[in-house]
Amino acid sequence: DAGITQSPRYKITETGRQVTLMCHQTWSHSYMFWYRQDLGHGLRLIYYSAAADITDKGEVPDGYVVSRSKTENFPLTLESATRSQTSVYFCASRPGGSGASYNEQFFGPGTRLTVL
Amino acid sequence: GENVEQHPSTLSVQEGDSAVIKCTYSDSASNYFPWYKQELGKRPQLIIDIRSNVGEKKDQRIAVTLNKTAKHFSLHITETQPEDSAVYFCAASIKGSGGGADGLTFGKGTHLIIQP
């Protein structure tokens, strides 16, 4: 599982500040994802990326920005953090392709973000 | 978009008994249905998955069934053990351009409690 890492693991910030959460994977997976996990909501997809420089919105993209200049990195930025963005954020990745072996998503350890 | 409903939210069973968790989905285009187990403070881990061209899949004590017509799928755990205690999430793929699981929509989770 050391193949996908997230940093920082814990972050406390204030309303209005910009925050960037980092995600790095060493498998050269084509696809990368960002989810947020909140009690009562399960995991919800924020953004995903099919390859470098290709990103797409998920279910809850408002207030977030992503970029993917390199295959192995997929940072998530909260441009002006709000209290409602307090959550646990998980990054995930999977190989490219459409066969049965390509579907499994591997999750990072998560970042617990608190916005005061 | 895709909507996944999961029931029950909490399930308590005696050790050695079976547990069944059920999910329904809304988008007939979804073709991949994974189940994740998440222990407290840990990342979600895939325990079993099924594609839409298969009706049932089994891996030791765990099985998943899929009814495409009714748009529901279920997780079955037999001979439950204390280490099965965790939160279980079902998910359904979101149709994208990549041909594979371009993001997942998750159910809200089931807290499975194994009583000794």
Give the one of B1, B44, B98 whose C-beta lies nearest to A107's C-beta: B44
Does the CB of A8 have a partner CB in chain B at under 8 Å?
no
Burial of B74 (0-12, 13-18, 19+ CB in 10 A): middle
* Residue B91 φ/ψ, nearest 5 degrees: -155, 160
3-class secondary-structure state, position B84? helix
Fill in the DSSP letter of residue A100: G
Residue A35: list chain B partners with CB under 8 A.
Answer: 106
3-class secondary-structure state, position B89? strand
Does the CB of B94 have a partner CB in chain A at under 8 Å?
yes
Cα B116 off chain centre by: 23
* Identity of residue B69: T
Residues in Cβ contact with A62 at an 8 Å cutoff, skipping those fewer than 6 apart: none
pLDDT for residue B99 is more than 50 = no
C-alpha to C-alpha distance for A37 and A59, rounded to whole angstroms: 13
Q: Give the residue among A58, A84, A74, A63 at the shortest CA–CA distance from A23.
A: A74
Percent of chain B topping pLDDT 70: 94
Residue B103: list chain A partners with CB under 8 A.
Answer: 33, 45, 48, 58
Q: Token pair for residue B82?
A: 């204390």
Cα B23 off chain centre by: 7
Residue B104: list chain A partners with CB under 8 A.
Answer: 33, 43, 45, 105
**pLDDT for the residue numbered B100:** 46
User: Which residues pair with residue B73 across a beta bridge?
Assistant: B23, B66
| Residue B82 CB neighbour total at 10 angstroms | 10
**pLDDT for the residue numbered A102:** 65
Does the CB of B45 have a partner CB in chain A at under 8 Å?
yes
pLDDT string in tens for chain A (116-residue length): 569 999 999 999 999 999 999 999 999 899 999 999 998 888 999 999 988 888 988 889 999 999 999 999 999 999 999 999 999 999 999 987 766 566 789 999 999 999 99
Q: How far is CA B99 from CA A52, B7, B68, B103, in A?
A: 17, 29, 19, 11
